[in-house]
Amino acid sequence: MGTLKRRGLQGGGYYVPVAHNGEHMVCLEACCRCHLELCPRQQLSLILLIIIEMNCPSEERLFDKGSFDGSLNHDQGSLIEYDVSDALLGVSSRGRTSHQRPKSWTSWIADNSASILLTVALIVAAVESIYIVDIQRRANARFLGPTGLSHERTVSRTIYAHSKYMSDDEEVASKAWDEILAGHGVIALDADNVAEKNLPPSVPLPDDSGSFMYVIEAYHAMHCAKVIREHYILLEQGRAWNWSRSHDMHCFDALRQYIMCNIDDTILWTTGHRETGHGQEKKCNDWNALRDYAESESANYFDVEPEKGIMHLNNYHAGDGLTW
């Protein structure tokens, strides 16, 4: 005669019966902690448990009503024995007499065919649900970058519209570009964060904090765009220059790689006369979210441009100077 046992698992739990061959009961281990955390792997076990409970007479229930109060916390080491043959044959051990004969397997199946079909349907539905949840989890993970921010484009923008960055007044435009603080993207990560993100080694901060300095690539690309524009304006105005040509060449190629790596497949309209996508609506990533992340992990970067009277100490408190 088979026996079903429920024991206290870590955090409370069950052995859930799923099959019986006359001698042994095949069970799934259902951890209550996983159930509370909605662990998909355990949902099927708990569904099976409830189905079996529903199909048992009230006096034959494996667990009392309190077992399903939502907490599912049971004392460690608790043990409940249950006469499996009684449950499968639909006979109450309390009401059994010596002259009662158990029902045959075929009779039991016939009497419980509706419950069996319901059980199978619920199992299939549970498996499908778990599969769909897993697919969605994997799909969402693909949209998360190293910062944990979503790469899904959710912000509507009007592109190539007139802005202060391309003002006809050169002083207004240059002031807007000068206010861009690319150093906002210099962040500090501790050793655990570096290991979790599987990042290559980087320069340690000089403050003995044990953190390491990294640069968010979007801000590096913004730095390159800002520098190249500045040098172009200086050449256009015939002013002296003293910057490194190799740095500009680096920035040109960095922007090329950045564009190729971050493919934007937006299809733009055109007039055929040097106008492409002007005023067109498109979906963009959330730059504000990136700015906030950079501020939360700021390396307190010290950016100095004395010839312009700019000293960007603690610039992360003032944002990055960028607007759309």
- 38-49 per-position pLDDT tens digit: 455 455 555 555
User: Distance between CA atoms of 70 and 32, rounded to whole angstroms?
Assistant: 10
Is residue 216 pLDDT above 90, yes or no? yes
Q: Where are the beta strands (DSSP E) in the chain?
A: 3-7, 13-20, 25-31, 79-83, 155-158, 186-189, 212-215, 281-284, 303-305, 310-312
The tokens of 264 are what? 């934007």
In whole angstroms, how far apart are CA 249 and each of 225, 252, 306? Answer: 12, 5, 24
**pLDDT tens per residue across span 140-160:** 555 577 888 888 888 999 998
Q: What is the pLDDT of residue 119?
A: 80
**If we measure between CA atoms, which residue out of 3, 13, 2 comes closest to residue 78?**
13
Q: In the prediction, which pLDDT does 271 show?
A: 87
The span from the CA of 255 to the CA of 262, in Å, is: 10
Residue 46 tokens read as 């708990």
- How crowded is residue 101: how many other Cβ atoms within 10 Å of its Cβ? 7
Q: Does the pLDDT at position 307 exceed 70?
A: no
Question: What does the alpha-carbon distance between residue 284 and residue 276 come to, in Å, rounded to a whole number?
Answer: 17
Contact 323, 189 (CB under 8 A): no
Give the 3-state secondary structure of residue 229: helix
- pLDDT of the residue at 130: 73
Domain ranges of the chain: 117-146, 155-264+277-308
Question: Is pTM beyond 0.75 here?
Answer: no
Q: What are the b/e assignments for 291-310, b being 16+ CB within 10 Å? A: bebbbebbbebeeeeeeeee
What is the per-residue pLDDT for 123? 83
